[in-house]
Each structure stands twice: as structure tokens, then as C-alpha cells.
Amino acid sequence: MSVTLQSRSGQAALFRRACRITLLNFAAVLALAAGVARAETHASLQAVDANGFSTWSGSLPFTLTGVLLCDPDEMLDSTPNFIPWNSGANVFQLGAEWQIAFQAADTDSDWGGTFCYMGQCYGNMPFNGSDDLSYSNAAWTEEILRLNYDPVTMHQFRAGDLIQVTARQSDFYGGKRNITEGHNIDPAYNFDISLVTSNYGLPEPLVITLSDIKNADNTFIFDQTRATGCEHYQGMRVRINNLTLLATNGWNATNTWGNRLCTATDGAGRTFSLRHSRRDIGPAPTGTFNAIGIFNQESGSGVQGTNGYELILQSAIPQAAETLAIAQKAVLTWPVSGAAHVVEYTTDLNSTNWTVLTNTVIVIDGQNTVLDSMSNSRFYRLRKTN
């Protein structure tokens, strides 16, 4: 993370934040001392039985490595939002929430992906029922800083980073085993994230159609061996081709998690849920499109997981856009995570005068893309704007 310090007060604020994160990380190290973390695989952690229930029998703590598939604020709103217990009136209202997904980097030796989750107001769970068991807004802010930045380099985590997560708790819910805090604010239950390689690169999405994950009668294809069907793709970056929206009421990045759902079809009787991310990915496609995102499961059950599959949508590519005469264009791309850039061109590399290219930026296969008329006399550069 590149930071420009503007004042002594700004330096002090950054120093205090760094100290808070370092102290919190030190507390986590002390908690880890009770047991040596062993290496775990996504495939083992996500193993299920015929009912889709977890069969994982490993031990805690463990470490899990993979490529971060989203920015930390892409799924849930982590803005501090303390909600008091209030005699049970706010049961299950967890206030601010935070979630990421990361998938195996080497799919020859491992397979699948895992979600990490935490909420602010665990005290509002019916088995807790106490404000003392929730994070205050200040404490929650420190937790988010601890998880969003590498404690050693202060690198701000973003999609495409290779990370390692140290887990001390995990819970099965919704059809997948999540790394969590066990709904407990005690630092002994923290999970930690460390940077392995920044900008490692997003994995190429696995290309599928609805026929790979749903039967002809529109039921989910469930295979407990995870060799085929929905379980095969759970937690991974995929591209589902040949979709058409049936409704657009959930196509809104500002909606809450539960209200960001849309339904798409392949036109052959199969339907599938798309959950819009908290990113503006443009207007809803009016024709056939291809969807790129994170394959997720939300069965709504802690004991069964054979349904509730969906795609957390990060990019929607109208098929018409992919049939452009690209051979007659200059195609300029850069990662979606590098959004704060402009493309500039010049006709003379010895000149200091560069002109901003005003062509519309579209998203294709997880890349920001600009198509410009082919010209032998134009040279391009990508300039960061902040």
C-alpha cells in the first residue's frame, strides 16, 4: 500500500493504527502458542457426506493458503454498526459483517475454495444475549483493520493476492465449512490473514453452463465426492455462459445481502441465482450474457447442504460485446482491482504530451478493457490516478 503522509497528525494516526494492528497480531500469536498450526487443504476442509453435511475431522489450529477472489468489502458491509441486545428484540441482527473467499492456488494438489466470515454483534445471537459479547464500534474498527491489512507489510488485501489464513475456529453452515471466530470476540478465537504474494493474479474462471450444475428437471446436481456438479465448483471462480435474466429486481450493488439476488435462465428450463456484489458492474444485460463470479452455497441449514447454490456475481459480459471485431481494434486490459487508472496515448514517444483515451471501459473476463481504433501511430500507457 502506497501512502503519502501530509502532516504530523497524519503520521501519528497511521502510527497508532499500525501499533493497534501489531498488538492485536501479537495477541493472536500468543493464542496460537497453545497449539501448532498444521497445513490444511480446501478439498479436505470442504468434504461432505450424502446429505451435504461436513465430514471434516481435522484439528485446530490450521493454516489454509489460496488466492483471494474478492476485495474485503465486496460481499458484505463492514461499516461499524453496533446494535444493542435490547431484551432480545434484535436477535440475529449482527450489525456490520465481513466476508472473503479464497481458492486453492495449485489445483493439481488441492481443489475448491473457502469463505471466512465474522460479524460485529455476536451478543445478539440467542445463545449469547449480551452486549458484552459483541464488538463495540471502536473494537470492530480495529478488527477490520487487522483483517484488511497484512500485519508485516501493511499491504491492503485485494482480489488476486495469494494469502495464508490461520484458523482457530470453523463452522459448518449453509452447505460449506467456514473459517470463523465461532461467534466469539475472545482474541483466542481470531483467525489471521498474512500475505504470501501480492498481486499473484486471479485464477482463470472455470467455464461452465447451467447443464453442468443442474439437471434437466432444474434440480441441482449434487455429488458428495465433489468430482462433478455444484460441489465441484463451490468456493471457486467460475464463468457461467449463455444466461438471460428473468428479473432484475436484485441488480443493485447498494442493496443488502438478501436483496441482491436475481434469477437467470439458460432458456432450456434451468434457472440459477445470481447474487450481485457490492460493486457497480454496470446495467443489467438485456440479452444473453456470460457471468463471472464466485460459486457459493447458501442452503440455510446447519445440517444439510445439497441445495442453495448461487453465483456471487462480479462481472456480466453481454455476448454481443464479445463478438466485436476485436481483430480490428487495439485491446487494452488491466485487472479489475486496478480501477483507479486512466489510459493515455501519444503519437510520439519522445513527447511529454499524453492524451486521455476517452473510450468506454468495459469488463471482460475480470479485466478492465478498452477497445481503440487500430492505429500504427499510437502508443499507450496506464497511469494511476491516486
Superfamily of domain 8-197 in the CATH hierarchy: Nucleic acid-binding proteins (2.40.50.140)
Secondary structure of residue 129 in the 3-state scheme: coil
pLDDT value at residue 1: 33
329 torsion bin: left (phi>0), alpha (psi -120 to 50), beta (else): beta
pLDDT digits (tens, 9 = 90+) for 83-136: 999 877 888 999 999 999 999 999 999 999 999 999 999 999 988 999 999 999
Are 140 and 82 contacting, i.e. CB atoms less than 8 angstroms apart? yes
Least confident of 89-103, 221-235, 344-358: 344-358
**Which CA distances in Å does 108 have to 41, 105, 176, 283?**
12, 9, 22, 37
Torsion angles phi and psi, residue 94, rounded to 5: -95, 5
Which residues have CB under 8 Å from 4's CB, separation 6+? none
- Residue 3 above 50 pLDDT? no
Q: What's the one-letter identity of residue 358? A: T
Q: Between 88 and 181, whose confidence is greater?
A: 181
Q: Give pLDDT, residue 11.
A: 38
User: What's the pLDDT band for 382 if we cut at 50, 70, 90?
Assistant: confident
For 56-68, what is each residue's pLDDT tens digit?
999 999 999 999 9
pTM: 0.78
- Sequence ranges of the domains in the chain: 8-197, 206-322, 326-384
What is the rounded average pLDDT of the residues 32-46? 84
Tens digits of residue pLDDT in 352-367: 778 887 777 777 767 7
| Nearest of 147, 176, 142, 177 to residue 163 by alpha carbon | 147
**What CATH number does the domain located at 206-322 have?**
2.40.50
Give the 3-state secondary structure of residue 27: helix
On the question of a cis peptide bond just before residue 187, with omega within 30 degrees of 0, the verdict is: no
pLDDT greater than 90 at residue 223? yes
Provide the residue type at 224 as one letter. Answer: Q
If you write DSSP's letter for every residue of 305-348 in order, what string do you get?
Answer: -SS-EEEEEEEEEEHHHHTS-GGGEEEEEEETT--SEEEEEES-
Angle between helix 8-32 and helix 137-148 axes, rounded to 10 deg: 80
Out of 1-5, 266-270, 343-347, pick the least confident.
1-5
Average pLDDT over every residue of 148-161: 97
Best-predicted range by mean pLDDT (31-40, 190-199, 350-359, 363-372): 190-199
332 versus 104: the higher-pLDDT residue is 104
| Better pLDDT: 336 or 328 | 336
* 3-state DSSP assignment of residue 188: helix
According to the model, what pLDDT value does residue 67 have?
98
Distance (Å, rounded) from C-alpha 314 to C-alpha 336?
Answer: 10
Same fold, 8-197 and 206-322: yes
Indicate whether 249 pLDDT > 60.
Answer: yes
Q: Considering the chain, what is the average pLDDT of its residues?
A: 87
